[in-house]
Chains A and B, each alone.
Chain A
Amino acid sequence: MARKSKYDVVVIGSGPGGLAAAISAKKNGAEDVLIIERDLELGGILQQCIHNGFGLEVLKKDLPGPAYAQLYINEALALGVETLLDTMVLDVSPRRRIYATNKRDGVLDLEAHAIVLAMGCRERTRAQVRLPGTRPAGVYTAGTAQRWVNVEGYMPGKRFVILGSGDIGMIMARRLTFEGAKVERVLEVMPFLTGLMRNYVQCLMDYDIPLQLRHTVKRILGKDRVEAVESVQVDEHWNPIAGTEEIIPCDTLLLSVGLIPENELSRKAGVSLDPITGGPFVNNEFQTSVPGIFSAGNVVHVYDLVDWVTEAGLLAGKSAAAFAQRERESEIRHLPLLPGENVRYVIPHRVDKESLATGDVRLQMRVKQPIEAPVWVEVRSGEKLITRKGEPYVRPGEMVTLVLPSKVYDEVRQARELSLAVVGR
């Protein structure tokens, strides 16, 4: 439940990247940290990765995905990180306003001193690998199938062909075999494996699932449901080799053909994206091209191991906390100058209090209405008069200049905002 309208750090996405960022922001001095997650629970994609192999590098533990996530969920909640679940962020502005919706609160409009983008990635689809043929049921991305099997408890088919030797595909090949399905084979267009060798050994070899390198699907057959796929071998330029076509009967084609960072929101926030990674350009603190907007995890580039996602999140969270702190301090240090009675505008809009310690600050303004009689031009902090200057008359066409003298430094230090007014003498 969002309790405030402004947070120090808002993290979008609660996968391992987002969780680590929230934890580290909190530990590094962020006052209030909020995670916004569109799913019903925290943990991101890990919640559907019920196989083990998470945490080997950094934690030196071999955990299933949900257990790995739980460690960080517990830590985040213990530190007092706030969460908004089942909530979709729809828009982020370069000025760090966040627009989100959920069933309970309706529309949420929040501000943040710093934002960490941790939206993860999405899977490449049939169109992106340009798979011709019919459009029946039974063509799914491996991640969608993983969600069905591991989270919802349904089998999306009986006889599978898997296109792509990515990790999710290989892990699903084993998972589906456990569930009594037949995985006919895994086809890979490249001359090499695209996922981890350990997954090839543990998920395919151990279960006698054939892998064919330099092979792809030429077309999909079947009107209502997939009935078969036609595979074909390719040459070194990825051109199909005539005569090597083979019809493989199956009812499901799983696609494990790569992941793309999920950057719809980043685009909206004006973050520049690297055409190669598909994620934001970042510096060594994981700050994007927009100041105060950081990013961590698969949203930046696709990781193979969760450990490095967590590390990236920790760093991004720390950087975000530091940025937020500077923003907060700067907000306290910089006084807004507000136009009051008969003042159209004042320049500068803000004054750095500390600059008064070393010298005067000149203010310039224009009035709204002419007054052809002597007036005071006053600067006040609330009711309290800080300084004033007499003018014989004021006219909109003639700029008025006023000096905020160095000697008012002590009074100004206590102030939260200053207002200017032009009043009759």
Chain B
Amino acid sequence: MNDPYDVIIIGAGVVGCMVARALSRYQLRILLFEKEADIGMGASSANTAIVHAGYDPLPGTLKARMNVAANPMWDNLSGELNFPFERRGDYVVAIGPFELLKLDRLLDQGRRNGVPGMHLITGEEMRHREPNINPAVSGALWAPTGGLCDPFMVTVATAENAVQNGVQVLTSTAFMDFILDDHARIIGVKTTRGDFPCRWAVNAAGLYSDDVMHRAGVRPEFSITPRRGEYMVLDKAEITINNVLFPVPSEVSKGILVTASLHGNPLCGPTANDIPDKDDRATTSEGLEEIRQGALKMIPSLNLRHLIAMFSGLRANGNAPCETPGVEYNHDFIIEIPASPRGLVNLGGIESPGLTASPAIAQRVVELLKDAGEPLREKPGWDPIRPPRPRFCHLSREEQALLIARDPRYARVICRCELVTEGEIVAEINAPIPARTYDAIKRRTWLGTGRCLGGFDMPRVVEILAREQGISPLEVTKKGEGSGFLVRKTKLVEG
């Protein structure tokens, strides 16, 4: 076995990546590994992308604390890591007289959680702020600290910064088991790519965090029931929604929201349905119908024929009771160092607002390690800045000309809808966390997400991926092993 790692992090979603970056500040040897072909392919790339203000979680829960602690961190984070983030604020919109009453409860809950700046506005004011809104709007709760991000790029930028600061990242590597010594102390993990010795292991396996902790014998009663959320993405050109609009929440979810993503597309969703299979990210006709109704209730003029994508994400809906005495709640986050086995940092049930909370969760992990006696010594020369890569479509014409003069590959447009150039694709393939699949390129550059859904760019991207990695186009995949695009050359008879 090789030299042991100080810390191994299981799962490279936004939580695992934030923990890796927070720990990269210290003199530690760190490995972050992920079962999929790319990081961030789980919940972290299929969610609503809201940096929540913090009025939703029940006061006293870990969810509430982490949410409210993390919210103010996002401006600084986006500045350091150069990912898209906008503090647009958000609305919870009441339609008709009955829903109005629920706003008071949310406002009160938000104030108890310590959310700043919230207040109620009238239906008239809401119609003024969002002209497309249902005219039956009776009032709204305005939370100015709500924000919107590109969650996948948050994950990538965070992981890249961790790599810049010495963290190693392995993809296509799945956790199988812990290796324990005779004193019930974790001394390594078994993976599909062999055994890696370590002193600490962090469970950041999202949906599978229950299975991982059970391998260590921790919380056998804890289990995650995937709760699927489906979405519809509409064409940019068709309607402009200026705001983040939530309906009043129900018992199980925050309901069907309507907003525009940071890429400018109207986004509607998510549904909330418990399903048995942790792998089932299909969309369904029933789900789409539910979204349609919810979205039209908010914005009656929305034309859902201008659909350009459908996707779904799975919430890691757990059953951990809240540990604050007197708070009756059974879906709280788990953020702990269990007494046994030693050497485990256990994170579980990190569902919404897990994206928002992720930087605070990472901070909490650092504190827990300190409390456990880990001498965290700061690393000289730790660099918090992840340099951005140029996005052709965001540049002025003068900047475009300068960029092309430096590298003519930025003049070759590969995706016409989203205006992504060959230069950008090649830069992603050669980035600190290399994009190796079509979906990896798509999520980083937003290519193939416009109206033609990649019909034009797909053959070209496959060619570039093959050329840059020195492989055959037959080996290029959509999202990892088993998802190849092409099966053989033409003119060869099946053998």
Of the candidate stretches B71-79, B192-200, B329-337, B398-406, the one touching chain A is: B398-406
Contact with A along B474-488 (1 / 0, CB 8 A): 100111111111111
* Contact (Cβ within 8 A) A88 B483: no
Asked, given contacts A130-B307, A143-B455, whether A107 binds B404 with beta carbons under 8 Å apart, the answer is yes
A116 CA / B490 CA spacing, docked (Å) = 37
Partner of B480, one of A86, A155, A224: A224
Binary contact readout A218-242 vs B (1 if CB under 8 angstroms, 0 otherwise)? 1111011100000000000000000
A148 to chain B: which residues have CB within 8 Å?
459, 486
Q: How far is the CB of B301 from chain A (nearest CB, A)?
A: 15
Residues on B with C-beta less than 8 A from A93 are none
Interface hits, A219-269 → B, CB 8 Å: 219-221, 223-225, 251, 260, 264, 267
Q: Are B473 and A154 in contact (CB under 8 A)?
A: yes
Whether A156 and B487, one on each chain, are in contact in the complex, defined by CB atoms closer than 8 angstroms, is yes
**Is A345 on the interface with B (CB-CB < 8 A)?**
no
Question: CA–CA, A273 to B56, complex, Å?
Answer: 44
Q: Which residues of chain A (132-149) have a CB below 8 Å from chain B?
A: 132-138, 140-141, 143-144, 147-149
Quick one: which of B308, B413, B452, B484 contacts A88, CB cutoff 8 A? B413
Q: B490 contacts which of A38, A147, A149, A267 (Cβ < 8 Å)?
A: A149
Q: Which residue of A lies closest to B458 (CB)?
A: A144
CA A151 to CA B487, docked complex, whole Å: 16
B282 touching A219, Cβ below 8 Å: yes
The stretch among A15-23, A98-106, A195-203 that forms the contact with chain B is A98-106
Contact A127 B309 (CB under 8 A): yes
B311 to chain A, nearest CB (A): 7
Q: With A123-B455, A127-B310 in contact, is A136–B490 under 8 Å at CB?
A: no
A223-B279 contact, Cβ under 8 Å, with A122-B455, A136-B478: yes
Among B283, B477, B493, B494, point to the contact of A132 (Cβ < 8 A).
B283
Question: Whole-angstrom distance from the CB of B234 to the nearest CB of chain A?
Answer: 9
Given contacts A106-B404, A179-B490, contact A38 B482 (CB under 8 A): no
**CB proximity of B407 to chain A, nearest CB, Å:** 10
Q: Are A135 and B281 in contact (CB under 8 A)?
A: yes
Interface members, chain B 372-420 (any A CB < 8 Å) = 397, 400-401, 404-405, 408-409, 411-413, 416-417, 419
Contact bitstring A359-391, B, C-beta under 8 A = 1, else 0: 000000000000000000000000000000000
B404:A130 contact, CB within 8 angstroms: no
CA distance A251 to B451 in the complex (A): 24
Q: Which residues of B contact A224 (CB under 8 A)?
A: 477-483
Q: A134 to B282, Cβ gap below 8 A?
A: yes
Number of interface residues of A (CB under 8 A): 54
- Distance in angstroms from A254 CB to nearest chain B CB is 11
Q: Which residues of B contact A147 (CB under 8 A)?
A: 459
B459 CB contacts on chain A under 8 angstroms? 144, 147-148, 151-152
Nearest B residue to A152 via CB reads B459
Measured between beta carbons, the chain B residues less than 8 angstroms from A225 are 482-484
**Is B281 a contact of A137 with CB atoms below 8 Å?**
no
- Tell me whether B455 and A125 are in contact (CB under 8 A): yes
CA A135 – CA B442 in complex, angstroms? Answer: 14
Contacts of A357 in B (CB 8 A): none
State A138–B479 Cα separation when bound (angstroms): 12
Number of CB contacts from chain A to chain B under 8 A? 143
Question: Is A102 within 8 A of B486, CB to CB?
Answer: no
Q: Report whether over half of chain A's contact residues are helix, strand or loop; otherwise say mixed.
A: mixed
B295 to chain A, nearest CB (A): 14
Cβ B452 vs Cβ A122 within 8 A: yes
Which of B84-92, B127-135, B284-292, B426-434 lies on the face that meets chain A? B284-292
Please name all residues of chain B whose beta carbon is closer than 8 Å to the beta carbon of A264 when the two chains form the complex: 416-417
Asked if A88 and B283 make an inter-chain contact with CB atoms under 8 angstroms apart, the answer reads no
CB proximity of A47 to chain B, nearest CB, Å:
13
Check A122/B456 contact, CB under 8 A, given A101-B411, A107-B400: yes
Contact between A154 and B408, CB atoms less than 8 A apart: no
Which residue of A102, A137, A151, A260 has the most chain B CB atoms within 10 A of its CB atom? A137
Does chain A have a CB within 8 A of B489? yes
Knowing A86-B412, A103-B409 are in contact, say whether A125-B397 is a contact too (CB < 8 A): no
A143 to B457, CA, bound (A): 12
Assess the A134–B285 pair: CB atoms within 8 A. no
Question: Smallest CB-CB separation from A267: which chain B residue?
Answer: B237
Residue B453 is within 8 A (CB to CB) of chain A in the complex: yes
Q: Quick one: closest A residue to B485, CB to CB?
A: A137
Residue A95, interface by CB 8 Å: no
Chain B residues, Cβ within 8 Å of A102: 411-412
Residue among A123, A180, A219, A221 making CB contact with B494, cutoff 8 Å: A180
Q: Decide if B401 touches A141 in the complex (CB within 8 Å).
A: no
Quick one: which of B455, B456, B485 contacts A156, CB cutoff 8 A? Answer: B485
Chain A residues within 8 Å of B404, by CB? 101, 106-107
**Is there an interface contact between B282 and A132, defined as CB atoms closer than 8 Å?**
yes
- In this complex, what residue of A is CB-closest to B474? A154
Point out the residue from A125, A179, A219 that lies within 8 Å of B452, measured CB to CB.
Answer: A125
Chain A hits for B474, CB < 8 A:
154
Which residue of chain B has the shortest Cβ distance to A88 in the bound complex?
B413
Contact check, B455 vs A101: say whether CB atoms are below 8 A apart: no
Whole-angstrom distance from the CB of B235 to the nearest CB of chain A?
9
- Whether A154 pairs with B488 at a CB distance below 8 angstroms is yes
Instruction: Scan A106-118; emit 1 where CB is below 8 A from any B CB, else 0.
Output: 1100000000000
Measured in the bound complex, the distance between the Cα atoms of B489 and A148 in whole Å is 10
Question: In the assembled complex, which residues on chain B have CB atoms less than 8 Å from the CB atom of A267?
Answer: 237
Query: For residue B288, which residues in chain A have a CB less than 8 angstroms away from its CB?
Result: 130, 132
Q: Does B183 contact A (CB under 8 A)?
A: no
> What distance in Å separates the Cβ of A277 from its nearest Cβ neighbour in chain B?
16
Task: Tell whether A283 is near chain B: CB-to-CB under 8 Å.
Answer: no
Chain A's nearest CB lies how many Å from the CB of B150?
19
- Which B residues touch A143, using CB under 8 A? 455
Question: A158: which B residues are within 8 A, CB to CB?
Answer: 487, 494
For residue A107, which residues in chain B have a CB less than 8 angstroms away from its CB? 397, 400-401, 404, 411
Instruction: Provide the residues of chain B in CB contact with A99, threshold 8 Å.
Output: 397
Q: Which residues of chain B in 441-469 are interfacial with respect to chain A, using CB atoms and an 8 Å cutoff?
A: 451-456, 458-459, 463
Nearest CB of B to A286, in Å: 23
Cα distance, A15 to B249, chains bound together (Å): 53
- Are A122 and B287 touching (Cβ within 8 A)? no
Q: Assess the A180–B493 pair: CB atoms within 8 A.
A: yes
A selection of 12 A-B contacts at a CB cut-off of 8 Å is A88-B416, A101-B412, A102-B411, A106-B408, A107-B400, A107-B401, A134-B280, A137-B479, A140-B455, A179-B491, A223-B482, A267-B237
Which 10 A/B pairs are nearest by Cβ-Cβ distance? A224-B482, A137-B478, A224-B483, A88-B413, A125-B453, A137-B483, A106-B404, A103-B408, A154-B486, A101-B411
What 7 new A-B contacts, CB under 8 Å, besides A130-B288, A154-B474?
A: A90-B419, A101-B413, A122-B451, A132-B310, A148-B486, A220-B282, A224-B483
